[in-house]
Amino acid sequence: MSSGGTADWIAADWGTSNLRLWAMRGTDVTEMRVSDRGMAAMGGPDDFSDELARMTEGWPVVPVVACGMVGARQGWMEVAYRAVPCPAVPELTAVPGNPGGRPVLIAGGVMQATPPDVMRGEETQIAGVLSAHPDFDGVICLPGTHTKWVRISAGEICHFQTVMTGEIFGLLAKQSVLRFSLNGAENTGAQQQSDAFRDSVATALSQPHLAWARLFQLRAAGLVGQADTAETEARLSGTLIGLDLGAARAHWLGQQVLIIGASRLAALYEAALLEQGVQPVIGDVDAATRAGLWAAWQAYRGQTE
Amino acid sequence: MSSGGTADWIAADWGTSNLRLWAMRGTDVTEMRVSDRGMAAMGGPDDFSDELARMTEGWPVVPVVACGMVGARQGWMEVAYRAVPCPAVPELTAVPGNPGGRPVLIAGGVMQATPPDVMRGEETQIAGVLSAHPDFDGVICLPGTHTKWVRISAGEICHFQTVMTGEIFGLLAKQSVLRFSLNGAENTGAQQQSDAFRDSVATALSQPHLAWARLFQLRAAGLVGQADTAETEARLSGTLIGLDLGAARAHWLGQQVLIIGASRLAALYEAALLEQGVQPVIGDVDAATRAGLWAAWQAYRGQTE
């Protein structure tokens, strides 16, 4: 029997690109499994059921609590959004028929009507943060494909804003004419301490109308012999994160900021915010996800028992 | 014999995506041919030679005068940039060996050191405009994949700026999460008169730091039931063109503006500029290209005869 065999529930973060599963005993992780079969790789509800069965083989038949795009319209089962302001702890909805002979519970996302915005998965990470720090008052930044800036007060999600920073970085770096100047560079965070990164953040924040013009300059600088790949990457990353901070300035200015995200990307946002006089705290994204799913699961059992 | 059989030279616009050829008798077009085998479809110099032979079959063996990415590093033969300020009429460089038994002459592009920028092809269109209007003083806007704003004075290209508007529109509309709200919409120009387009241009110009945040709102608005496809397309187009105008404001403000571009895209830029109190004139891009190649060809013959 695998070490997951003592689990009494299973935590799942099922996003667009990946599935992350933890066999849990209470709040302790007994085993972790990761697959690249996210929502985008699924053809229909049966695929979700099959993938879950495959990935939990050898684990006990215990309830699964899942968050992320698994609850989207193109996911396993659409779970309605709650509207802000609302508590972070997500409400769970059971997939009918107990697939694989066990309850499968999916967390609902959060929406905002004005300006229009949505999240699926981040609300669970926020719930995890708040379960450890119930009095947190400030902004939680969740950088990624779609970076979220979420204002938290009195234990609730008040309002939030999404910026497509990670997705646009990927499109520009891998598919636009800038790819010829980047040689397939990833947003590695290797350049967060460079002058080029800091300079680009500052320019994008103070002159956002010019930042748009600077994108092609990154390519042209290479053609006229003024830049290398590492500097170009730092400038693209700095420009996009500077635009991101500028778009979200009303959220973070004068606030306590907590960054929950992958370590390299979190370090880039930290470096950019430090230049603006903000001293963010960085938290672990997987720990936040598990704690949020645990909080949701506890609340669900409290209601249904 | 085809109608191209009376040609005494051939004009060629050989860009990244297309090849446009005109069999010319002096300044008159006798026949036109278009292929989708642009620079991006070519594997090496021999491919350019073969494609030109295939596309000019039945036409007399007369000189070919070409502009565009055919002269880039990844093109048929790299032709050096001239630096601004410089006359618009491009200098021609002959491909060695007279491929296909005729001179093939390629126009060089123009570069700017500070801020770094480059063009290949637009200088020829500008030369064509100036051959008809030698006293033009103002800005020529060439919208497209990479929109150029070019300051012209005393018959010279003084300085210029490139904005990646068309390329970023294509990436966002076809490959980002916004594609789910656009259903494959093209930048058709159908929406240039809509309130949504004008409103988005105005917002991007006055609050560029917020325009970056508005991109995901276009997706979220669809998810919370607030937008249809046509409105979303108009808002994306208006936001990107507004950011473009904001990036280039120092170029067009208070200037006479001439737009040289495809009719639908030119109409979008015209509508956006009209809202800013600028009354641009629109010119035909193919006529400008042919006139510029003619001017370059005349200058070359004057030097070499």
Residue B220 lies in a domain: yes
In the predicted structure, residue B20 carries a pLDDT above the cut 50: yes
Which chain B residues touch A if contact means CB-CB below 8 Å?
73, 81, 111-113, 115-118, 146, 161-164, 167-168, 171-172, 175-177, 205, 208-217, 220-221, 223-224, 226, 243-244, 246-249
The Cα A99–Cα A108 span in angstroms is 19
pLDDT at B66: 98
- Assess whether B183 and B99 both reside in one domain: no
* pLDDT tens sequence across A251-270: 999 999 999 998 889 999 99
The per-residue pLDDT for B305 is 65
d(Cα A132, Cα A152) in Å, to the nearest integer?
A: 14
What backbone phi and psi angles, to 5 degrees, belong to B27?
A: -100, 10
pLDDT, one tens digit per residue, over B52-69 is 999 999 999 999 999 999
Percent of chain B with pLDDT over 70: 95
Which of A118, A205, A220 lies nearest to residue B220, judging by beta carbons? A118
Tell me: pLDDT of B3 over 90.
Answer: no
Is residue B2 very low, low, confident or very high in pLDDT (cuts 50, 70, 90)?
A: low
Domain match, B64 and B156 both: no
Nearest 10 degrees: Cα torsion B212, B217, B219, B220 = 150
Q: What is the DSSP code string of chain B?
A: --GGGG-SEEEEEE-SS-EEEEEEETTEEEEEEEES--GGG--SHHHHHHHHHHHTTTS-S--EEEESGGGSTTSSS--PPEESSEESSPPEEEPTT-GGGS-EEEE--EEETTTTEEESSHHHHHHHHHHH-TT--EEEEE-STTEEEEEEETTEEEEEEEE-HHHHHHHHHHHSTTHHHHTT----STTTTSHHHHHHHHHHHH-HHHHHHHHHHHHHHHHTT---HHHHHHHHHHHHHHHHHHHTHHHHTTS-EEEES-HHHHHHHHHHHHHTT---EEE-HHHHHHHHHHHHHHHHHHHH-
Last residue of one domain, picked from the residues A92, A120, A148: A120
pLDDT range class, residue B189, cuts 50, 70, 90: very low
DSSP A80: P
Nearest to B78 by CA among B102, B99, B95, B91: B95
Strands A104-107 and B104-107, by their bridges, are: unpaired
Q: What is the pLDDT of residue A126?
A: 98
Domain containing B86: what range? 1-111
Q: Which of B3-7, B72-76, B200-204, B260-264 has the lowest mean pLDDT?
A: B3-7
Q: Which chain B positions have a beta carbon within 8 Å of A220's beta carbon?
A: 111-112, 115-118, 162
Check B208 against A208: CB less than 8 A apart.
Answer: yes
Q: Total structural domains in chain A? A: 2
- pTM of the prediction? 0.91
**The token pair that represents A114 in the structure block:** 């004005």
Q: Which of B32-41, B189-198, B212-221, B252-261 is predicted with the least confidence, judged by mean pLDDT?
A: B189-198
Is A127 within a domain?
no
Could you give the CA distance from residue A125 to residue A88 in angstroms, rounded to a whole number? 9
What is the model's pLDDT at position A58?
Answer: 94
Let me know if residue B302 belongs to a domain: no
- If asked whether residues B170 and B267 sit together in one domain, one would say yes
User: Which CATH number is A7's domain given?
Assistant: 3.30.420.300
Predicted confidence (pLDDT) at residue B207 exceeds the cutoff of 90: yes
Are residue A94 and residue A188 in the same domain, yes or no? no
Rounded (10°) angle between helices A229-247 and A195-206: 30
Residue B48 has pLDDT above 80, yes or no: yes
For residue B148, is it left (φ>0), alpha (ψ between -120 and 50) or beta?
A: beta
Q: Is residue A67 part of a domain?
A: yes
pLDDT attached to residue B1: 46
Instruction: Return d(Cα A244, Cα B213) in angstroms, integer.
Output: 8
A177, A216, A224, A253: best to mutate for the B interface, most B CBs within 10 A? A216
**How confident is the model over B61-80, as a mean pLDDT?**
96
- Check if the beta carbon of residue A262 is closer than 8 Å to that of residue A286: no
Q: Measuring CA to CA, which residue among B22, B8, B56 is closest to residue B286? A: B22
Q: Residue B187: which pLDDT band, with cuts at 50, 70 and 90?
A: very low
Mapped onto helix, strand or coil, the DSSP state of residue A21 is strand
Q: B162 near B128, Cβ under 8 Å?
A: no
The C-alpha of A82 sits at a distance from chain B's nearest C-alpha, in angstroms, of 11
Which one of B111, B136, B158 terminates a domain? B111
Q: Is residue B299 part of a domain?
A: no
pLDDT, position A1: 46
- A209/B243 Cβ within 8 A: yes
* Per-residue confidence (pLDDT) for residue A189, from 0 to 100: 47
- The verdict on A273 and A211 lying in the same domain is yes
Shared domain check, B11 and B139:
no
CA distance B77 to B67: 12
What are the angstrom distances between the C-alpha of B153 and each of B107, B110, B140, B150, B295?
21, 16, 11, 10, 18
| Lookup result for tokens 């005869």 | B305
Residue numbers of chain A with a pLDDT score lower than 50? 1, 187, 189
**Cβ separation B177–A161 shorter than 8 A:** no
Residue A169 included in any domain: yes
Rounded to the nearest angstrom, the minimum Cα separation between B14 and chain A is: 17
In a domain, A71, yes or no: yes
